[in-house]
């Protein structure tokens, strides 16, 4: 396959590129480097500096590449994704996350590219009505980030139905860890994800960390999330792209472990290696108490299950942070 990865210099996108190349595919990366880093792009991928919200930008790159060989699949990893920031900046989130998708789909239509893999989120479920979220559950986001992802999902479905295109939408939540090569991982300023924040605190990169609330209706009062190793998640995108090309039909699936861990359980796992200095703070805006995703449909349709557990996630993040610290 020839795959265009928009946002391929970011955390999840760069890991998807690595997995695509390991699987023998041709990869073109487009990224505006607003949060991604050029050095995260695999050396065997072709890189373009480009912005999904600028139609002419995308058209120019697609024209250049499709004259050589058309893309079989476009993957989207170009969203803004920090929940509290989305509450503070709803206009910016809607513009980047929804308008960017609209422009991407419009350019795909113009170049007759039929398959899109979209990186969505379990945040579209909002406060879940049962222990484990399933794809048929009611969607009711409680923050602008989740709303922009749900709006993008709906836009993709309508466009694909109208123009005879196929979509693979993945809903997932907390992604963590680093590639086994330790060449790439989550490396950016002002990290907000719980695993790297905890590891940074343990390694002394941060003085302390704040646990946002301990009065939720969970086993220990802290938020419970489903954690997936980034390489497991990235490989699912390879399987999703192949599914579209081979079956010529769409799918929407959760990617999860069917298990949830609380913030305090993450801290305890890291403390198997290093002490973590933390304190309890106020709740953050827009945080549901519990989000766990069922992976039954992903197993059934794609043959996908995560190969790595929470211990593997923590160890890989510690090793990556030690490497980039030195």
Residue among 67, 84, 164, 65 at smallest CA distance from 123 = 84
- Tell me the C-alpha distance between 42 and 37, whole Å: 11
Could you say which DSSP state residue 83 is in?
H
Please say whether the beta carbons of 11 and 189 come within 8 A: no
Q: Which residues of 108-140 are buried (b: 16+ CB within 10 A; e: fewer)?
A: bbebebbbbbbbbbbbbbbebeeebbebebebe
Task: Name the active-site residue from 11, 145, 235, 243.
Answer: 145
Q: Is 145 a catalytic residue?
A: yes
Interacting residues of 116 by C-beta distance below 8 A, sequence separation 6+: 73, 74, 75, 76, 104, 105, 108, 156, 160, 165, 166, 167, 168
DSSP 144-159: HHHHHHHHHHHHHHHH
Residue 159 and residue 165 in contact, taking contact as beta carbons nearer than 8 Å: yes
User: Which segments within 109-165 are labelled E, that is strand?
Assistant: 115-121
Residues assigned a catalytic role = 145
């Amino acid at each position: 396959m020839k795959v265009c990865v928009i946002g391929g210099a970011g955390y999840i996108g760069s890991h998807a590129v690595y997995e695509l190349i390991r699987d023998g595919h041709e990869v073109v990366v487009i990224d505006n480097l607003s949060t991604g880093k050029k050095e995260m792009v695999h050396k065997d991928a072709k890189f373009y500096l480009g912005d999904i919200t600028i139609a002419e930008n995308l058209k120019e790159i697609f024209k250049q590449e499709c004259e050589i060989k058309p893309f079989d699949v476009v993957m989207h990893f170009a969203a803004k994704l920090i929940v509290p920031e989305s509450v503070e900046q709803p206009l910016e989130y809607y513009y980047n996350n929804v308008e960017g998708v609209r422009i991407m789909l419009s350019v795909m239509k113009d170049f007759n590219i039929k398959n899109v893999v979209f990186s969505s989120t379990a945040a579209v479920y909002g406060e879940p009505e049962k222990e484990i979220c399933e794809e048929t559950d009611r969607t009711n986001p409680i923050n602008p980030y989740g709303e922009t992802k749900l709006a993008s999902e709906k836009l993709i479905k309508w466009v694909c139905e109208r123009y005879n295109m196929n979509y693979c939408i993945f809903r997932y939540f907390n992604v963590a860890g680093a590639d086994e090569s330790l060449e790439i991982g989550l490396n950016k300023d002002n990290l907000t994800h719980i695993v790297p924040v905890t590891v940074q605190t343990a390694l002394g990169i941060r003085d302390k960390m704040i646990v946002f609330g301990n009065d939720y209706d969970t086993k220990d009062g802290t938020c419970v999330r489903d954690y997936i190793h980034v390489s497991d998640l990235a490989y699912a995108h390879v399987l999703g792209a192949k599914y579209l090309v081979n079956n010529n039909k769409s799918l929407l699936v959760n990617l999860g472990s069917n298990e949830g861990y609380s913030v305090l359980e993450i801290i305890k796992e890291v403390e198997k290696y290093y002490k973590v200095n933390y304190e309890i703070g106020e709740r953050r805006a827009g945080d549901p108490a519990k989000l766990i995703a069922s992976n039954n449909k992903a197993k059934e349709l794609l043959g996908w299950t995560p190969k790595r557990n929470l211990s593997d996630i923590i160890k890989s993040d510690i090793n990556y942070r030690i490497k980039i610290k030195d």
